[in-house]
């Protein structure tokens, strides 16, 4: 069954019941044992929501990629109380972004790493879907003289006075999710910042793999700052824009920031990175240790086989093989993406049997054709056969994907044969724009506000990149990246200025804690994000140079409880503890910062200020900050200049405390040489799940293989018909036949209801323009074996042809009849494009869609949480009055005696 509202409800309802029973049992056991340890799951609302989200993602992994994409990219109406204006970012902005990407990569890297400069610019839509979002109450009065404009366009003009702009990039593992899955969160951000949000629905993998999403996000930024003539908004200054993204969106935001920095383009005022996914090689320890406390599936994002994914439906000889026997790992293909023999054989059309025979001759598998035992770590090489090179041997200790770093250096090395991530080919995973943790330097960026859940699998890489950005010299990139990347060597030398970073790790929270908007910790996160956005967008550069974070100059009265109060949720705390918690909330963030300094100084035996200050010179010595003794005392708060990094933890009630010293963080002790490598442990974790999926969905894979053959036959017929109907590409036409592109009708005399096709005057590429390019195997731009690939091909031929087409041929009547019965086609308009790009429209009860129902559930949880908060506040006030009365009783005799 596909992913839809009914199947989601059927799958999730038993989970809700089980969670309620297990929560009650666990809570009773804690009370009986007088267990006072606070956990995020002590809150029944969070416990239920956590397991609901986890169950939904598990449902997605048991269905096809297309099914999950279609469900999460279904258009859902916005609430009546918010203003949402859909727009389409035109090719004008997309081409400007493409030009910058081409400049960043350079000719050699485009050829050897990306695979060309055209395929990733191919798109089905005539632009990129996006939305302006804000609170309707924030709109200015109606504008006169704009009667011909639509209400949505008028709303864009009525948002112009809102200075703070958040460019939001949604998450979803780089392959699912959309504006619709995140609209509730985005609306809340707009309300908190008292501004407007611009959300971009970028193309997603595996249909549009890296760097397609990068181009779309960069285009969205250029659309804001340098709008095309037809845009209704005025140009927005970069100093008024803040990037924000969660998970994959956070990774995209960080990658785009490095592109802007490297090309000396104006950067936004700041960026909010919420659980950013920045290491697609999964080389950090928390990937192995936080599985039970996170919503991410234990084996990663697997999927039921379909015509789209996985690329290799049936891996008869194993998806993981041994490298050449007796030879240690040698330089692979990742940093230069020069295809290895396995990939060349695959691209050359060699079938699985011949590939296996050749692999046996090369020693990649044993005589029985087995490699799985080595994927489980059982394969060991003879000690005498494999010598262990010195630590300085980069090729041995830093193998490039698809080769794997073994736990035992004497073990026979493993090599990936299947693609492990949908976003990028295995050979590309160590590229710095795929895994930004491998950037030569993360210095020189705009201020970053980074959040992580202590219980999420990505925790370690998030903490690590925060410190890499704030301390470029202390956390360098590994030698292999520097050796093989010219730009990364230049970046390490050029961008030595530290990035201002505010890092917060939330106790007990999972991946993307802001999903659980009703929890006290998430409420604090939304307030803090809003304060950061307003601070960096509403202050001038001179002020921000001294005060990069709002926490460093606000008076104590500006901090603490606001509209979203996060009191203690249950009645387990005594009145004194409640009063103490209230006191901590009312403490200024400057006090917290100073406390952080004092505790860290004591921990490392220093008398001066915390080391996370802007160095006075290039030698990295910390600068003592004068005047900071009075910065955290009283209501007159002075500046705290040259602050480099704030490091904090946040408990389940949203109360901030200092983070432990860097020397006490295990993840910060990881050597740079260990970062960004495919390692045996995470590989086996994925591989054990993939083997289970291969067995579970064996018949589905076989059916998908047959369907691919049928689609390929259809694609061949489409091309033959188009040629018969006069399709001619510019490079195919003889000189005497070359003429300016002409518009011809795509309709026969019996199909007058169809609108005419056209040749797009904007620069764009189509599936027929990729000769000589090394296109990723999953990209539909160069495939003919999926319905989405065929829809893209037909649209490029018959509807909006690129300028490389000499003409637009006329469709046969038989083709129009077929389109009427094809669920992926439309005889009256453009064929439906990939669900990874185009939103699905639900015309029957759109308000009953699962995404809208989830928003309703969150709203109910928010109201319940608010009621609990109100009761807790009243209890605290009552206890405070009692304590005040008792104090008056004790002190009154002394007063009378005086």
What DSSP string runs through 179-204?
HHHHHHHHHHHHHHHTSEEEEE----
Q: Indicate the average pLDDT of the chain.
A: 80
**The dihedral formed by the CA atoms of 860, 861, 867 and 873, expressed in degrees to the nearest 10:** -150
Please state the pTM of the whole predicted model: 0.82
Note the pLDDT of residue 561. Answer: 35
Q: Which residue has the higher pLDDT, 381 or 535?
A: 535
**Statement: residue 540 has pLDDT above 70:** yes
Q: Quick check: 445 pLDDT over 60?
A: yes
Q: What are the structure tokens assigned to 248, written together?
A: 């994959």
Spatial distance between the Cα atoms of 608 and 471, rounded to a whole number of angstroms: 19
User: What are 79's two structure tokens?
Assistant: 């609430």
Inform me whether the pLDDT recorded for 63 exceeds 80.
yes
Instruction: Tell me the pLDDT band of 355, cut-offs 50, 70 and 90.
Output: very low
Domain ranges of the chain: 75-310+436-543
Mean pLDDT of the region 435-444: 97
Give the torsion sign (CA, 247, 249, 251, 253).
negative
286 is catalytic: no
Q: Which two tokens stand for residue 675?
A: 């970062």
With 70 as the cut, is the pLDDT of residue 386 above it?
no
Which of 340-344, 351-355, 421-425, 626-630 has the least mean pLDDT?
626-630
pLDDT of residue 876: 54
Give the closest residue to 344 by CA, choosing from 335, 355, 356.
Answer: 355
At 300-353, the pLDDT tens digits run 999 999 999 999 999 877 899 887 644 444 333 433 344 444 344 444 444 434
Q: What is the pLDDT of residue 728?
A: 82
Whether the predicted pLDDT of 594 surpasses 90? no
Cα(197)–Cα(189) distance, integer angstroms = 8
Highest mean pLDDT among 78-82, 639-643, 768-772: 768-772
Asked if 252 contacts 169 with a C-beta cutoff of 8 angstroms, the reply is: yes
Specify the pLDDT at position 821: 78
Burial of 823 (0-12, 13-18, 19+ CB in 10 A): exposed
Instruction: Say which residues have a Cβ less than 8 Å from residue 729's Cβ, sequence separation at least 6.
Output: 768, 769, 804, 805, 806
Catalytic residue among 40, 93, 247, 306: 247
Going along 253-377, which residue ranges are E strands? 270-274, 320-322
171 closest CA partner among 281, 277, 316, 61: 277
CB 94 within 8 A of CB 762: no
pLDDT at 230 over 50: yes
φ, ψ for residue 696, nearest 5 deg? -65, -40
For residue 441, is pLDDT > 70?
yes
DSSP lists the bridge partners of residue 243 as 167, 271
- 245/259 Cα distance (integer angstroms): 16
pLDDT tens digit sequence for 874-885: 665 566 566 666
What tens digit of pLDDT does each residue of 233-278 get?
999 999 999 999 999 999 999 999 999 999 999 999 999 999 999 9
Decide if pLDDT at 370 tops 60. no
Q: What is the reported pLDDT for 511? A: 97
For 642, residues 6+ apart whose C-beta sits below 8 A from its C-beta are: 546, 613, 614, 623, 625
Structure tokens at 127: 């632009």
Which tokens hold the place of 519?
Answer: 């929890």
Mean pLDDT of 581-602: 48
Q: State residue 874's pLDDT score.
A: 62
Helix (H, G, I), strand (E, B) or coil at 161: coil
In whole angstroms, give the CA distance from residue 492 to residue 479: 11
Least confidently predicted of 198-207, 251-260, 406-415: 406-415
State the pLDDT at residue 888. Answer: 53
* Per-residue pLDDT, 639: 55
d(Cα 612, Cα 663) in Å, to the nearest integer?
A: 13
Q: Which of 224-228, 330-334, 762-766 has the highest mean pLDDT?
A: 224-228
Q: Where is pLDDT greater, at 335 or 644?
A: 644
Looking at the domain that runs over 75-310+436-543, which CATH code has it been given? 3.40.50.1820
Q: Which of 241, 226, 235 is nearest to 272 (CA)?
A: 241
Q: Is the pLDDT of residue 828 over 60?
A: yes
Nearest to 220 by CA among 165, 262, 263: 165
Those residues with Cβ within 8 angstroms of residue 604's Cβ, 6 or more apart along the chain or in another chain: 611, 661, 663
DSSP letter (8 states) at residue 679: B
Question: What's the mean pLDDT in 94-106?
Answer: 97
The torsion angle over the Cα atoms of residues 840, 841, 847 and 849, rounded to 10 degrees, is: -30
3-state secondary structure of 311: coil
Average pLDDT of 179-207? 97
Query: At 758, which helix (H) or strand (E)?
Result: strand 758-759
pLDDT value, residue 408:
85
As a whole number of angstroms, the distance between CA 581 and CA 583 comes to: 5
Would you say residue 378 has pLDDT above 70? no
Mean pLDDT comparison of 28-37, 237-246, 351-360, 759-768, highest-scoring range: 237-246
| Mean pLDDT across 769-794 | 96
Alpha-carbon span 629 to 14, nearest angstrom: 56
847 — pLDDT class (breaks 50, 70, 90): low
**Using CA atoms, how far apart are residues 892 and 260, in angstroms rounded to an integer?**
67
pLDDT score of 621 more than 60: no
Q: In the β-sheet with 501-506, what is the strand arrangement from edge to edge?
A: 82-89, 128-135, 196-200, 165-169, 241-246, 270-274, 448-453, 501-506, 645-650, 656-658
Percent of the chain with pLDDT over 70: 72
CB atoms within 10 A of CB 422: 24
Question: DSSP secondary-structure letter at 211?
Answer: T
Cα distance between residue 321 and residue 14, in whole Å: 40
The pLDDT of residue 93 = 97
The sign of the dihedral angle between the CA atoms of 311, 316, 320, 326 is negative
Residues written for the chain: 898
Does residue 225 register a pLDDT over 50? Answer: yes
Look at 493-507, 542-556, 678-692, 804-818 and tell me which has the smallest mean pLDDT. Answer: 542-556
The pLDDT of residue 574 is 36
Mean pLDDT of 98-125: 96
pLDDT at 575 over 90: no
543 band by pLDDT with thresholds 50, 70 and 90: confident
697's enclosing H/E stretch is none
**Residues 410 and 232: beta-carbon distance below 8 Å:** no
3-class secondary structure, 174: coil
Nearest CA to 215 out of 763, 759, 761 is that of 763
Q: Is 377 exposed, middle or buried (0-12, 13-18, 19+ CB in 10 A)?
A: middle
End-to-end CA distance of the chain: 83
Average pLDDT of span 470-475: 96
Residue 305 contacts by C-beta under 8 Å, 6 or more apart in sequence? 64, 313, 693, 697, 700, 701, 704
d(CA 225, CA 336): 33
373: pLDDT strictly greater than 60? no
- The residue among 822 and 233 whose pLDDT is bigger is 233
Tokens encoding 526: 């939304």
- Give the C-alpha distances (Å, rounded to integers) separating 356 from 363, 376, 456: 10, 20, 39
Model confidence over 746-761: pLDDT tens digits? 333 333 333 446 777 7
Cβ proximity of 196 and 157 under 8 Å? no
Mode of pairing for the β-strands spanning 241-246 and 270-274: parallel
Residue 893 has pLDDT above 60, yes or no: no
What pLDDT band is residue 664 in, cutting at 50, 70 and 90?
Answer: very high
Output the pLDDT for position 430. Answer: 94
């Amino acid at each position: 069954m596909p992913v839809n509202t009914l199947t989601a409800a059927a799958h999730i309802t038993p989970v809700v019941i089980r969670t309620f029973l297990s929560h009650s049992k666990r809570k009773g056991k804690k009370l009986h044992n007088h267990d006072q340890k606070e956990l995020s799951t002590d809150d029944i609302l969070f416990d239920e929501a956590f397991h609901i989200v986890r169950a939904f993602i598990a449902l997605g992994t048991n269905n096809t990629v297309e099914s999950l994409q279609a469900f999460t990219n279904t258009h859902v109406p916005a609430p009546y109380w918010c203003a949402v204006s859909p727009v389409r970012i035109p090719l004008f902005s997309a081409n400007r972004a493409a030009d910058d990407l081409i400049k960043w990569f350079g000719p050699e890297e485009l050829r050897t790493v990306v695979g060309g400069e055209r395929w990733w610019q191919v798109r089905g839509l005539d632009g990129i879907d996006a939305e302006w979002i804000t609170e309707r109450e924030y709109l200015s009065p109606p504008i006169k003289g704009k009667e011909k404009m639509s209400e949505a366009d008028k709303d864009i003009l009525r948002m112009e006075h809102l200075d703070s702009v958040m460019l939001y990039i949604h998450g979803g593992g780089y392959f699912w999710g959309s504006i619709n899955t995140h609209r509730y969160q985005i609306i809340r951000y707009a309300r908190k910042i008292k501004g407007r949000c611009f959300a971009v629905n970028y193309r997603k993998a595996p249909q549009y793999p890296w760097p397609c999403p990068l181009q779309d996000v960069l285009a969205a930024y250029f659309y804001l700052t340098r709008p095309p003539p037809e845009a209704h908004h005025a140009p927005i200054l970069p100093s008024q824009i803040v990037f924000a993204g969660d998970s994959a969106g956070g990774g995209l935001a960080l990658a785009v920031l490095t592109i802007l920095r490297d090309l000396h383009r104006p950067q936004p005022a700041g960026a909010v990175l919420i659980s950013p996914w920045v290491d697609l090689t999964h080389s950090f320890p928390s990937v192995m240790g936080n599985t039970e406390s996170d919503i991410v599936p234990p084996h990663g994002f697997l999927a039921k086989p379909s015509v789209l994914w996985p690329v290799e439906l049936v891996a008869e000889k194993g998806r993981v093989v041994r490298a050449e026997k007796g030879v240690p790992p040698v330089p692979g293909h990742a940093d230069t993406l020069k295809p290895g023999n396995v990939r060349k054989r695959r691209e050359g059309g060699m079938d699985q049997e011949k590939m296996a025979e050749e692999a046996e001759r090369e020693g990649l598998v044993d005589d029985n054709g087995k490699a799985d035992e080595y994927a489980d770590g059982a394969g060991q090489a003879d000690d005498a056969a494999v010598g262990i090179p010195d630590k300085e041997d980069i090729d041995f200790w830093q193998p490039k994907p698809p080769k794997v770093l073994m736990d035992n250096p004497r073990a026979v090395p493993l090599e990936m044969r299947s693609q492990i991530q949908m976003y990028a080919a295995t050979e590309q995973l160590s590229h710095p724009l795929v895994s930004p943790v491998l950037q030569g330097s993360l210095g020189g960026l705009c201020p970053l506000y980074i959040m992580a859940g202590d219980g999420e699998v990505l925790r370690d890489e998030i903490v690590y990149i925060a410190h890499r950005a704030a301390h470029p010299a202390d956390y360098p990139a590994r030698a292999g990246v520097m050796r093989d990347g010219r730009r990364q060597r230049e970046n390490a030398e050029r961008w030595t200025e530290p990035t201002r970073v505010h890092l917060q790790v939330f106790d007990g929270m999972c991946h993307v804690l802001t999903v659980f908007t009703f929890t006290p910790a998430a409420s604090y996160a939304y307030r803090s994000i809003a304060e950061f956005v307003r601070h960096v967008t509403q202050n001038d550069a001179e002020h921000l140079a001294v005060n990069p974070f709002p926490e460093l100059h606000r008076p104590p009265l500006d901090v603490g409880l606001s509209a979203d109060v996060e009191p203690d949720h249950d009645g387990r705390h005594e009145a004194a503890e409640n009063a103490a918690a209230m006191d901590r909330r009312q403490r200024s963030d400057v006090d917290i910062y100073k406390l952080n300094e004092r505790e860290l100084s004591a921990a490392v035996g220093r008398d001066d200020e915390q080391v996370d200050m802007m160095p006075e010179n290039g030698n990295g010595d910390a600068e003592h900050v004068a005047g900071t003794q009075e910065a955290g005392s009283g209501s007159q708060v002075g500046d705290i200049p040259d602050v480099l990094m704030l490091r904090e933890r946040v408990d389940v009630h949203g109360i901030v405390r200092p983070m432990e010293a860097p020397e006490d963080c295990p993840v910060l002790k990881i050597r740079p040489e260990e970062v960004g490598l495919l390692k045996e442990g995470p590989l086996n974790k994925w591989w054990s799940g993939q083997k289970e999926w291969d067995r579970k969905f064996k018949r589905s894979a076989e059916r998908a293989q047959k369907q691919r053959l049928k689609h390929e036959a259809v694609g061949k017929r489409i091309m033959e018909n188009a040629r018969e109907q006069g399709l001619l590409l510019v490079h195919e036409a003889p000189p005497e036949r070359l003429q300016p592109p002409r518009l011809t009708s795509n309709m026969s005399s019996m199909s007058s209801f169809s609108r005419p096709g056209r040749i797009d005057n904007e620069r764009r590429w189509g599936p027929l323009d990729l000769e000589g390019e090394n296109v990723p195997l999953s990209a539909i731009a160069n495939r003919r074996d999926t319905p989405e690939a065929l829809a893209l091909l037909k649209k490029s031929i018959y509807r909006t042809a690129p300028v490389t087409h000499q003409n637009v041929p006329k469709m046969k009547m038989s083709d129009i009849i077929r389109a009427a019965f094809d669920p992926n086609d439309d005889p009256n308009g453009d064929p439906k494009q990939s669900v990874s790009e185009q939103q699905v429209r639900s015309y029957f009860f759109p308000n009953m869609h699962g995404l809208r129902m989830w928003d309703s559930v969150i709203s109910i949880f928010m109201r319940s949480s608010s009621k609990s908060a109100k009761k807790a506040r009243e209890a605290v006030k009552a206890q405070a009055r009692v304590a005040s009365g008792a104090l008056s009783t004790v002190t009154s005799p002394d007063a009378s005696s005086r």
